[in-house]
Amino acid sequence: MKKSLLLLAVSLVALQTSFADWVVIQKATTDGQTQEVSIKIKGDKTRMDLGQQMSVVADGAAGNMVMLMHAQKMMMKMDAESLKSMMAMAGGAMGGSKPADKPAATGQKEKVGSYDCEVYTWSGQIGTGKFWVAKDFPGYQELNAAQDKLMKAMGNPAAALSPQASDFPGMVIKSEMTMMGKSTVSELVSAKEEKVEDSAFALPEGYQEMKMPAVPGK
C-alpha cells in the first residue's frame, strides 16, 4: 500500500487545471513501458487518463479526487481532508519536507519536435531530472500557474519535493526524471485550448466503490 501511495503522489504531479478548457496529450515511458496520458481541463476540474488502465478525476477548488480502475471496475473517492492526510503519509515515506532545489539552466539549447528548447537539470531528495523547456509556448504561464495551484490544494508531497511548473520560464516539452527508483521519460504530444464537455468528468456507472485505506492516527 505504501508503494501505491507513493506512485499516486508522483502521478498527481502530471495533473493540470486552468480557467480555460485545454486538452493535453503526453507520452510517458516508465521501465520500458510506454503509454499515452490524456489530460482534459475545464476550470478547476481535471481528468487524467493513464492509458486504458486508470483515470483520475480531480476538482482543484473542492480539493477532492476520484481514482477509477477500469479493468476491475472499481473507484476510490477521496475528499480534501482524507486526500491531504494520505499525501502527508506519502510525504513522510518520501523522506521529509525540505523544499526542493530549483532547476538550473545548463545553457544548452536543443530542438524537441518542432520546439526550440532550453535544457534545465535538477537534483533533490527524491530524485534527479532533466527538462527541455520551450519559452515561447503559447499559454504556458496559465498552465504552469494552474498546475501549481492544484498541487497545493491537494497537498501533494511530490510537488513540494520536486520542481514546480512555475519554476520554469516556459512549457516543459520533454522531461527525464528518476524518482524513488523509477525512471520516466515524458514528452508533450500536444496541448490545445479547446472545449471540454462537462460529461468528461462524470463518473461511470457500474463501478464498485472501494474504501480508501485507513490513515494511521485517524
CA 118 to chain centre: 22
Res 100: pLDDT: 64
Res 192: pLDDT: 85
Please, are residues 58 and 65 in contact by the beta-carbon 8 Å criterion?
Answer: yes
**CATH class of the domain defined by 2-209:** mainly beta
Res 141: pLDDT: 87
Res 125: pLDDT: 78
Please, are residues 111 and 22 in contact by the beta-carbon 8 Å criterion?
Answer: no
Res 174: pLDDT: 96
Res 22: pLDDT: 85
Q: pLDDT tens per residue, the chain (218 residues)?
A: 444 444 444 454 444 344 578 888 999 998 888 999 898 888 888 888 988 899 989 887 777 889 899 999 999 988 766 666 655 555 555 555 555 678 999 999 999 999 999 999 999 877 899 999 999 998 888 878 766 765 665 555 555 667 888 899 999 999 999 987 889 999 999 988 889 999 999 999 999 998 766 544 54
Using CA atoms, how far apart are residues 176 and 154, in angstroms rounded to an integer? Answer: 24
Q: What is the pTM of this model?
A: 0.75
Res 180: pLDDT: 75
Res 60: pLDDT: 76
Q: Residue 30 in 3-state DSSP?
A: strand
Please, are residues 203 and 73 in contact by the beta-carbon 8 Å criterion?
Answer: no
Please, are residues 34 and 115 in contact by the beta-carbon 8 Å criterion?
Answer: no
Res 117: pLDDT: 98
Checking 86-90 for CB contacts under 8 A at 24+ apart, the result is: 86/5, 86/8, 86/212, 86/213, 86/215, 87/9, 87/154, 87/155, 87/156, 87/157, 88/155, 88/157, 89/5, 89/215, 89/216, 90/2, 90/5, 90/6, 90/8, 90/9, 90/157, 90/158
